[in-house]
Amino acid sequence: MSLVEYTCKDNIATITLNRPDAMNAFNPDMYLAFNAATNRFKNDNNAWVAVITSSSEKAFSAGVDVKALDAAMSTTTDIKALEAIYTIDLEEEYFCDKPIIAAINGYCVGEGLSLVLGADIRICGKNASFCLPEAKVGLPTLNAAIHGTRLIGSAYMLELLLTGEHKDANWAAKTGLVNCMVNDDDVYDTALAWAEKIAALSPLAIQATKSAAVKSHFMSFADICAEMAIKRKTILNSKDAIEGRQAFIEKRKPKFIGE
């Protein structure tokens, strides 16, 4: 059984967290498997958008496997080596141009919440629960603090960070932590429907647009425009741009190929 499963159909990749017996808590093997899956998506030319989901109805992810972390910390004092293992690539400042959707059911805690904050769109079920409890075990919260504050602002994010309390789906929807809240049984289907809408558009245009939007958090307007000028020239001469214009003139749906 793979701890993280990867499939791709109709230009939509599905990445499934699959350690249900531990509520998808991240141990070293889980980190390796998840990073392998997200990087596979990043480099898969046939995958234009991804949905991250869980095989468990009870939890999206319960965060870090504290027992595994404690065991690792008791055998080494090399913090850099530990950080290299206990790191999710998706949580970096900018992971990739392709859109990523998180489909969240049940507990979304610690590393699980940090993970979904690295996604672009978040869909949750009515019974979803969100928490950043790192301070309760003596650990700081870093990536989630940065991504979350950019997303929902410091007041709401500090409420979540400094109390370590669970917040329900209503709170997540009210604050903008998630894009929408649906019935638990509809979470994945809703995320897939969003993915299908995105996959129907020009992937080249979508990727450039996402890049400009997300990088506006940490790059200057002038630097983004300079980067986009290079991308825009390539896109305007692409087969997809020609197809898009022709489809508009002919009043039909375009058939994009990502070139």
Tell me: do 132 and 219 sit in the same domain: no
| Interval 81-100 mean pLDDT | 89
Tell me: do 127 and 211 sit in the same domain: no
Q: Read off the CATH number of the domain in which 229 is found.
A: 1.10.12
User: What total number of domains does the chain contain?
Assistant: 2
Tell me: do 124 and 225 sit in the same domain: no
- 37 domain residue, yes or no: yes
Tell me: do 36 and 133 sit in the same domain: yes
Tell me: do 210 and 242 sit in the same domain: yes
Q: Write out the residue range of the structural domain in which residue 31 sits.
A: 4-199
Tell me: do 133 and 243 sit in the same domain: no
Q: What is the pLDDT of residue 77?
A: 67
- 151 domain residue, yes or no: yes
Q: What is the pLDDT of residue 71?
A: 72
Tell me: do 134 and 213 sit in the same domain: no
Tell me: do 184 and 133 sit in the same domain: yes
Name the band, by pLDDT with cuts 50, 70 and 90, for residue 74.
low
- 105 domain residue, yes or no: yes
- 259 domain residue, yes or no: no
Q: Cα separation of 147 and 130, whole Å?
A: 15
Tell me: do 214 and 142 sit in the same domain: no
Tell me: do 124 and 230 sit in the same domain: no
Tell me: do 215 and 195 sit in the same domain: no
| Interval 106-132 mean pLDDT | 97
138-150 residue pLDDT tens:
889 999 999 999 9
- 208 domain residue, yes or no: yes
Tell me: do 156 and 221 sit in the same domain: no
227-247 residue pLDDT tens:
999 888 889 989 999 999 999
